[in-house]
Amino acid sequence: MSNARADRDAVRAQELAAEQQYLDTLYEKLDALREETAQRLKDTLRDSGGPPQARTERDISARMYTDKLSQLSAVEHGMCFGRLDLDSGETFHIGRIGLFDEDNEYEPLLLDWRAPAARPFYLATAAARDGVRRRRHLRTSWRKVLDYEDEVLDLDAAEQGSDLGLAGEATLLARLDARRTGQMQDIVATIQAEQDRIIRAGMNGVLVVQGGPGTGKTAVALHRAAYLLYTFREQLSKRGVLVVGPNETFLRYIGQVLPSLGETGVLLSTVGGLYPGITATGVESARAAEIKGRASMVDVLTAAVRDRQQVPSDHVEVTFDREPLRIDRATATQARTRARRTRRPHNLARRVFRDEMFRALTLQVADRLGRDLLDRRDLDEINVELRADPAVDRALDELWPETSPQQLLDELLSSPELLASASRKHLDDAERAELLRPAGSPWTPADVPLLDELAELLGEDDEQARAERERQEREELAYAQGVLHIMEQDEEIADEERLRVKDVLDAELLAERFRARSDLTAAERAAEDRTWTFGHVIVDEAQELSPMAWRVLMRRCPSRSMTLVGDVAQTGALAGADTWHEVLHPYVQDRWKLAELTVNYRTPAEIMDVAADVLAAMDTDLEAPKSVRTSGHRPWARRVGDLAAALPGAVAEELREVEDGRLAVLMPPELLAEVGPRVVESLPEAAMGTSPDDLDSPAVLLTVEQAKGLEFDSVLLVEPAAIAAGSERGLNDLYVALTRATQRLGVLHTEDLPEVLRKIG
C-alpha cells in the first residue's frame, strides 16, 4: 500500500471516529430527553385530583408528553445523516429532529432537516455554494457510523459529478440499490434539489406536482407534509393535514414515513375512508365506478332528493279526532314550493313543509269547528294536537320523509323505477343496468362521494341536538361560575394565584376549556367528523380521482391549500383525469401552480427504455423521466403454453434471483382470481395482495391498480397484452406495471406481446 493511500485511510479512520463520537453525544441527548419526557408523563398521569382547570391542563400535558415520546422514538434509526461545513468555520449536523444544548445558550447540536439553516444541505451546488465549503453524507446503522461521503463544493469537484446534478450521489445510489422491505422508507437523507424546492414551497394555493414513474412523487408529498407541519405548526395543528392515497395497501406502504420524520398527527385516508361510519369494501365493475364518478351524478342525486318531495295526485284523507281530514294536491304543492324556496337541504326544508301543512290542516279543523268561535290559543292547541297525531304524522311523512344518505342511496341503486326517474336526463338504460344492485349491498369506494354529496343535499335536522347542546353549554357555564366562586373563597389558594386566575380566566373561557378538552389530535377528531375542514390536503395518485371525488376533497379544504401529486400518463381509472386543467378549472380556474419532477430514481434505464415506448404510444405530450442508474439486468420475456402450470415455477425462480428482496406478480384481475390461489397454495412465500399486510410477503400477487404507488425489487408481468386490452386506459396500466421495479423485470405470456414491448420480445 502506498504512503498516500495509507495516509488517506488514516484520515478516514479519524473522521469516522470523530463522527461516531459526535453521534454518541447526540444519542445520549436523545436518551436523556426520552427519560425526562417519560418521567414528566408519569408524574402528570399520577396527578388525578385538583379542580377542573387542573384536570384539563393535566390532560393537555399528558397528550403533549405522549406525542413527544412518540416523536423521540420514531427518529431512533438514522437520526443524524449529514453535516455542513461552512466558509465561516461553523459546522452543523443535520438530522430528523432538532436537538439543542440547554447548558450552552441552546446551541444547536442537531439541525432539523426542515429548518431554514439546513436547506443548503439539499440545494448548495458548486455554482451556488450558499456559504457551504463541504457537504458530508453519513451512512449509519442505528447508533453506529458505517461510512461517509464528502462533497467539496468547488468548480473542479463539480466536473466530476453526475450530469443530473445529484447531491450525495454515492449515498443516493446505495439507497436506491438497497432491497425493498414492504414499507416505504423516507428520503430525508437524499432529497435532491428539484424535490426540495417542491417540499418547501409555500402553503397557500394549489400546487400540482407532475412527475413520471420513480421520480419520488410520493416521498416528496410526505416530506412536504412534514415540512408544512414544522413551518406552519400553529395554523395546521388546529385543523390538521389530510393525506389521501389510492387504496389501503398504499396507506399501509407509506404508513411509517411521517412518524420517521417526527410527525404523528396527520390523517392518512382514501377517499372511500372520508365518510365516518362507512367501510367501503364492496367490489363493482370499473364501468360502474366510472359512471358514479361523473359530475352529472350531482344532478342525478339532486333529482333523487326532489323525488322524495311528493304531492298527492289528487288528495289524501286521514282521520283526525274521528273526522276525515283532506290533504289536497294544491295545498301540498304550495307547501312544497315554499319549502323549496328556502334553498335549505331536504331534511331542514322538511320542517318548513310540515309547518305549512300543519297550519293549513289547523285551519281546516278550525273551519269544521267554526273558526269565528276560536281564538289564537285555540288554534295553537289544535296545531299541537295535529302534530302529536300518529296518523297525520305518517301521512305527511309519506309526502316529505326524513331520510339519510345511506338510506336514500341504497334505495336509489336497488330500485329500477327510482333510478330511472332520477337519471332519465343523464344515463341510458345500459348505464342504469350497470349501477343497479340488490338492496343492502356493501358500500364501494365509488359510493362514498355519492354519500357525501347526499349528506350536503339532505342536511341534518339538528334542532333537538342544538337545543340539547345549548342546555349543556348553560350547565357548563353555571358549573364554571361555581368553580371560580369556590376558588375565590378557598383559603388554601394563595392570593397571588387567585388573582392570576381571575385576571386570565373568566367563567365563559373556563367553560370553553371544558368543552375543548379532548385526548384526540386534530387528525383523530377530523376522522370522526364529516364536516371537518383541513388546513392542508395532500393527494397522491391524484390523477385517479373522479369528478365526484374531487367535490369531496374540495369540501374538506375550502381554503384550497392543497398539494396534488400524480402523473396523468399513469391514469388507470376510467373516471380519472387526462389533464390537470380539467380537474382544477371548476374550482380555482387557472389559479394553480405546476411543478415537475424529471429524474427517475426508481426505475433503472434498462426497464425505462422499454416503458418509454409505451409512453410514446399514448396520446400525451409527456416525456419519460431520465433514469439515474442502470441495474445490469435486461428485461426478459418467456412464452409458455400453460400459464397456471408455469407461473409457480417462474415465481420461485425469480424469488431466488432477488434473495431477500420483494417480488410483485402483476396480472389482469380475472387472471389473478383464476390462477392466484394456485400459486399461493404451492408457494408459502407468496400472498394474494388482498390485505395491506401482504406486502410483507416475499412475493405478492396484485392487479396493476393495487400496485399503484408501490415499488418492488423485481416485477413479473403476466399477460401484458390482456392488461393493454383490458380497458380504455390499458396502455396507461401497462406503463404503470412496467415501472414498479427497482432492479429486475420479467414477462410471462401465452398471447403475443403487444407491439409496444418489441424491445423485450
Q: Which residues of 215-244 are buried (b: 16+ CB within 10 A; e: fewer)?
A: bbbbbbbbbbbbbbbbebeeebeebbbbbb
Query: Which grid cell is 454?
Result: 347526499
CA-to-CA distance for 399 and 538, rounded, in angstroms? Answer: 43
The answer on whether 709 is annotated among ligand-binding residues is: no
Q: Grid cell 455554482 — which residue? A: 127
CA-to-CA distance for 395 and 397, rounded, in angstroms? Answer: 5
The answer on whether 213 is annotated among ligand-binding residues is: yes
- Given a contact cutoff of 8 angstroms between Cβ atoms, the answer to whether 435 and 447 are in contact is no
Q: Which residues of 417-432 are buried (b: 16+ CB within 10 A; e: fewer)?
A: ebbeebbeebbeeebb
- DSSP character at residue 533: -
Backbone φ and ψ of 476, nearest 5°: -65, -40
CA-to-CA distance for 475 and 487, rounded, in angstroms? Answer: 18
Backbone φ and ψ of 154, nearest 5°: -120, 170
3-state secondary structure 148-208: EEEEECCHHHHCCCCCCCCCCHHHHHHHHHCCCCCCCCCCCCCCCHHHHHHHCCCCCCEEE
Q: Grid cell 380566566 — which residue? A: 505
Q: Which amino acid is at 169?
A: E
| Cα torsion through 269, 271, 273, 274, rounded to 10 | 100
CA-to-CA distance for 267 and 756, rounded, in angstroms? Answer: 40
CA-to-CA distance for 373 and 693, rounded, in angstroms? Answer: 77
Please tell me the total number of residues recorded for the chain in this structure.
761
Q: In what order do the strands lie in the sheet with 536-539?
A: 266-269, 241-244, 536-539, 562-566, 206-211, 592-597
Bridge partners of 596?
210
- DSSP character at residue 371: G
Per DSSP, helices labelled H in 232-323 are 233-239, 248-254, 257-260, 286-292, 297-306
Query: Which grid cell is 629?
Result: 442508474
| Radius of gyration in angstroms for the set of CA atoms belonging to the chain, rounded to a whole number | 32
Per DSSP, helices labelled H in 415-494 are 416-423, 429-435, 447-458, 463-489
CA angle 621, 623, 627 (to 5 degrees): 170
Bridge partners of 269?
244
Query: Which grid cell is 748?
Result: 410471462
- DSSP character at residue 758: G
CA-to-CA distance for 495 and 501, rounded, in angstroms? Answer: 10
CA-to-CA distance for 166 and 58, rounded, in angstroms? Answer: 49
Q: Grid cell 404451492 — which residue? A: 682
Backbone φ and ψ of 426, nearest 5°: -125, -25
Give one word for 145, left, alpha or beta, with left for phi > 0 and alpha for psi -120 to 50: beta
The answer on whether 214 is annotated among ligand-binding residues is: yes
CA-to-CA distance for 28 and 13, rounded, in angstroms? Answer: 23
The answer on whether 249 is annotated among ligand-binding residues is: no
Kindly list the distances between the CA atom of residue 597 and the CA atoms of 193, 497, 539, 624, in Å, as whole numbers in the listed order: 10, 58, 16, 11
The answer on whether 216 is annotated among ligand-binding residues is: yes
The answer on whether 215 is annotated among ligand-binding residues is: yes
Distance of CA 388 to the CA centre of its chain: 47
Sign of CA pseudo-dihedral 585, 589, 595, 598:
positive
The answer on whether 182 is annotated among ligand-binding residues is: no
Residue list for the binding site: 211-218
Residue list for the binding site for ATP: 211-218
